[in-house]
A and B are shown apart, each in its own frame.
Chain A
Amino acid sequence: QVQLVQSGAEVKKPGASVKISCKASGYTFSNYAIHWVRQAPGQRLEWMGCIKVGNGDTQYSEHFQDRVTIIRDTSASTAYMELSSLRSEDTAVYYCVRGNGPGSWLFDNWGQGSLVTVSS
């Protein structure tokens, strides 16, 4: 079955960067997009960006344009999201989500989430 397994919780200081991994299994990794969505306490879900795994093309939300980088390693069936210049407002659960096609924005399977805490 389709599974997205994310890396564990992180605690970071303001100004630092965090890199979260998302390992896919149960399907052909290159045939589907991977999106990143975060959920801060008491806030609505927020889309950060996505990668077309097949060709590596990325699209980012302008709200994170300068701070987020999404890459993939097809040999490891793993996608990564790095967020830089962290601030307290970035404390959230970060999810990777599969799009149901190569460039699809329609979500199907979600990772379990990775809690990132930003605190001095």
Chain B
Amino acid sequence: DFVMTQSPDSLAVSLGERATINCKSSQSLLSSSNNKNYLAWFQQKPGQPPKVLISWASTRESGVPDRFSGSGSGTDFTLTISSLQAEDVADYYCQQYHSSPITFGQGTRLEIK
């Protein structure tokens, strides 16, 4: 299985400041056939299902604010929130969809400092 490891497990950031969450895969998520990284980021608020923010490591989904961005390639990826808003308080998960079984990181809890 591809093991996904996020860091940190929790993060407290002041409103308006930058938040950065890292995700490391045990194997490369870069496909040689299409040069795409099979990595997605999800946001989950309490009592709600996860919501996809980013796919293909850096493609923002429709309707996702542009303060959210994804970067990285191969085994190391980052989700950045450029200016934290109160509504961004949530759990964040990375997910690889390169190989079966699809696997997720353990999650990062983002709070306001």
| Shortest beta-carbon distance from A101 to chain B in Å | 12
Q: Which residues of B contact A (CB under 8 A)?
A: 38, 40, 42, 49-52, 55, 61, 93, 95, 97, 100-107
* A70 vs B93: C-alpha distance when bound (angstroms): 25
Q: Decide if B49 touches A95 in the complex (CB within 8 Å).
A: yes
Q: Is chain A's binding surface mostly helix, strand, loop or mixed? A: loop
* A106 vs B55: C-alpha distance when bound (angstroms): 8
Q: Decide if A110 touches B101 in the complex (CB within 8 Å).
A: no
Interface size counted on chain A using CB atoms at 8 A: 18
B50 CB contact (under 8 Å) in A46, A63, A105, A110: A110
Which of B52, B93, B105 is most buried by chain A, counting CB atoms within 10 A of its CB? Answer: B52
A47 CB contact (under 8 Å) in B50, B52, B61, B102: B102
- B102 — which chain A residues lie within 8 A by C-beta? 35, 47, 61, 105
- B40 — which chain A residues lie within 8 A by C-beta? 106-107
Q: Decide if A63 touches B52 in the complex (CB within 8 Å).
A: no
Q: Is A45 at the interface (CB under 8 A from chain B)?
A: yes
Q: Decide if A45 touches B51 in the complex (CB within 8 Å).
A: no
Q: Which of A83-111 contact B (CB under 8 A)?
A: 95, 105-108, 110-111
Nearest 5 pairs between A and B by C-beta? A110-B49, A47-B102, A105-B97, A61-B101, A45-B104
* A63 vs B103: C-alpha distance when bound (angstroms): 12
Q: A45-B93, A45-B95, A106-B40 are in contact. Are A113 and B101 (CB under 8 A)?
A: no
Q: Decide if A62 touches B101 in the complex (CB within 8 Å).
A: yes
Q: Which residues of A contact B (CB under 8 A)?
A: 35, 44-47, 59, 61-63, 95, 105-108, 110-113
Return the chain B residue nearest A107 by Cβ.
B52
Q: Decide if A44 touches B104 in the complex (CB within 8 Å).
A: yes
* A35 vs B49: C-alpha distance when bound (angstroms): 14
| Shortest beta-carbon distance from A38 to chain B in Å | 11
A61 CB contact (under 8 Å) in B38, B50, B97, B100: B100
Q: Decide if B49 touches A44 in the complex (CB within 8 Å).
A: no
